[in-house]
Chains A and B, each alone.
Chain A
């Protein structure tokens, strides 16, 4: 199968066609692209780092309010998203491998799987946002100190709630839905900002992968030239890694 794929989509270029004028050879171009992306990811680490540091400072200062906030999040949806995103990274890695072998058809297939999983992630995230909006967790004017009574919750929330009661011992405010603190808004601010910035990065990633698929359709990638897939791959794994930190920090730090 791979032999036929290679025959049909045999690389039409040796990579020289993609050598930009400022570079001496393909190696220099590839190394520059990779170094550039690593540096960019370094700036991203600092960008998110500013958020994580601020979060950590406030978490230490207001442990109870932040714990309450964490208990209001749907850890099972976050966990589901973690699984989805890790799987998407797996397909991304396969896509990079396929591009190194110059197999453009498999590049497309793996990127499609990655994008599908990314969209699924964003769907779950959107659902979470909706639930939180519904429960009055959005900070600002619409933030409700008094959680909605269980009877007025949507069927979805109620269903999720019973699932959570069934799964674990850290049940948020069990049945009586205690009063929230004003400072829980601070936690929710960070939750929404951090996840929204992360989601923005995912949208950019989906855009980049769409571009890669358009290139792959033209059979642009070959064993000699596949820099874009490699650097977008790096980017995607980074976005994934950010989530791997966001998930425990936001959802799981709920023990007293």
Chain B
């Protein structure tokens, strides 16, 4: 076990039972077993329970969006379209886009893991506004019901971008319902972001300075800033679209002097920063994973922290790179092209820092780390092709082709969804008190990685060859790549379904995790698994930096020092990993 009891006196104020002992896990009073009724879940203000509620809701939407994607890929098996006609195909990709963007990716990491671990990481009892947190989940559910009704009635066909004047003047299906769903969803997102910002500012425990915060918090803080500043613009834009669609008045209608390009500016002023809402939390998760599974202090803490902030800020200044062929002036296009290159700098700072962290570390390829490695590789590829697309001259040719599709799926699916699974596996033992099957975890990540690349790499080639996005049919010479892509998608689907088996399995049969199965630093690992209702028995006091793995090595790799409020220093013993 590598721990000398004489040198490290075992005083654990948190769990009575030694970590790792069989059967001790579920017995202590924790947030899961303290109350059992449905009412206690639906009216909970506990951030951990709300995180779990979000986990269930977004998983549902992940499979709705995934179902639409499956039908899209099936349809593209043959050049003339295998199963649906053009009109239905338009609805399919609209449902896929709307559901995946607003009902899965944007809430994915922040609303589930962020909700769950932010108060734990900063040593607080809860978020600053627990009731508002619950309200944001209800708003999410409410908007989800709108989306669900929209889908069952027959969907909308505008694409997730709602471009005018098609969405306002021509589309005669459920545009209003879709716009309502996204509008309400936006408030959920704003409230979550607001809650996180106030929590990070005001709720940190003694000793938790800004530069002792885990990098996940820095990235969620940057994400929240984007949520709070960008989402209102989406709200007002969609409100205008809705009003114009319902009343037929012309805010974006050229007949009355309105300008459809203005809609595009306003839409992308939200929706470009929104891609950073989607990917920044993933970067935060990867920062946690890489340092933990390399058993090494993270390389360039401040650089990673500030690169999150830089991405959030510069991300606000690049929106018009979605509009290079929309008739904006060549001068403004050049400026936006240049600014888009600049985003690549903080992004690559992160990639280099993660790589440098692994260098000479004791890298352990557990499931979360495999996800993190997958993220780094796929994000790099997605990011580099993003630089290609930011190049003005190139984008004119690549615009609205499958190259763009492949590019952002490498970031969103290869990046964010990978990080989401990484975080899910990493904090699963903390949330449930049980270890999942490591073998199945690793197999799943490998399947996802292979399936993902087979799905989306051919799309780079397709786009390069000129296949436009959103077409339900294509010339026969593109078929081979489309078949490859669909084959990959079926492998990917298997990868996404597998956790459905082994994660619930672990709830009953998984090995008890102990407080700290990964021997990680961070306050969330010092409380029990699952955590008690109010997170900590005593308010923790932080005395060291976030990733002091180098110090722990000096102490024989078994314990880290914390002091509980105002009392003599207490050493919390971290349990051995289950593999040991």
Instruction: Please report A residues at the B interface, Cβ cutoff 8 Å.
Output: 20-22, 24, 28, 31-32, 35-36, 39-40, 42-44, 46-51, 54, 57-58, 61-62, 65, 139-141, 182-183, 185-186, 189-190, 193, 197
Contacts and interface: CB of A to CB of B under 8 A. Distances in A.
A44 B235 CA distance: 10
Contact of A32 (B129, B256, B258, B539): B129
Nearest to A40: B194
A58 B127 CA distance: 42
A22 B128 contact: yes
A22 B257 contact: no
B559 to A, nearest CB: 27
B226 to A, nearest CB: 11
A22 B249 contact: no
B197 interface: yes
A186 B203 contact: no
Contacts of A46: 229-230, 232-233
Interface in B179-221: 190, 194-195, 197-198, 201-203
Nearest to A139: B249
Most buried by B among A46, A49, A62, A140: A46
B498 to A, nearest CB: 37
Nearest to A187: B257
B33 to A, nearest CB: 19
Contact of B198 (A36, A54, A141, A182): A36
A141 B248 contact: yes
A58 B125 contact: no
B497 interface: no
Given A50-B236, A186-B257, A186-B258, A39 B127 contact: no
Contacts of A197: 239
B134 to A, nearest CB: 13
Nearest to B533: A21
B277 to A, nearest CB: 14
7 contacts: A39-B197, A39-B198, A43-B194, A54-B240, A58-B258, A185-B249, A193-B240
Q: Is chain A's binding surface mostly helix, strand, loop or mixed?
A: helix
B262 A57 contact: yes
Contacts of B129: 32, 36
B95 interface: no
B198 A22 contact: no
A146 B269 CA distance: 38
A28 B257 contact: no
A44 B126 contact: no
Given A28-B202, A39-B194, A189-B250, 15 more contacts: A24-B539, A36-B198, A39-B198, A42-B229, A47-B232, A47-B235, A48-B236, A50-B233, A54-B266, A139-B250, A139-B256, A140-B247, A183-B256, A185-B249, A190-B251
B361 interface: no
Given A22-B130, A185-B250, A186-B251, A50 B232 contact: yes
B203 A54 contact: no
A36 B235 contact: no
A66 B259 CA distance: 15
Contacts of B127: 22
Nearest to A185: B256
Nearest to A43: B232
Closest 5 CB pairs of A and B: A50-B236, A22-B126, A47-B232, A183-B257, A46-B232
A36 B194 contact: yes
Most buried by A among B230, B232, B237, B250: B232
Contacts of B405: none
Interface residues of B, number: 43
A156 to B, nearest CB: 26
A198 to B, nearest CB: 13
B243 A193 contact: yes
A193 B242 CA distance: 12
Interface in B315-356: none
Interface in B110-148: 119, 124-130, 132
A35 B258 CA distance: 38
B177 interface: no
B257 A61 contact: yes
Contacts of A32: 128-129, 198, 201-203
Contacts of B236: 47-48, 50-51
Nearest to B197: A39
B503 interface: no
B231 interface: yes
A16 to B, nearest CB: 16
Contacts of A20: 130
B228 interface: yes
A24 B566 CA distance: 14
Nearest to B235: A47
Contacts of A183: 256-257
A183 B257 CA distance: 6
A105 to B, nearest CB: 28
Most buried by B among A49, A54, A141: A54
Contacts of A24: 539
Contacts of A65: 257
A28 B262 CA distance: 43
Contacts of A58: 257-259
A51 B235 CA distance: 11
B534 interface: yes
A66 to B, nearest CB: 9
Contacts of B194: 36, 39-40, 43
Nearest to B231: A43
Contacts of B249: 139-140, 185, 189
Contact of A57 (B125, B197, B239, B259): B259
Contacts of B237: 50
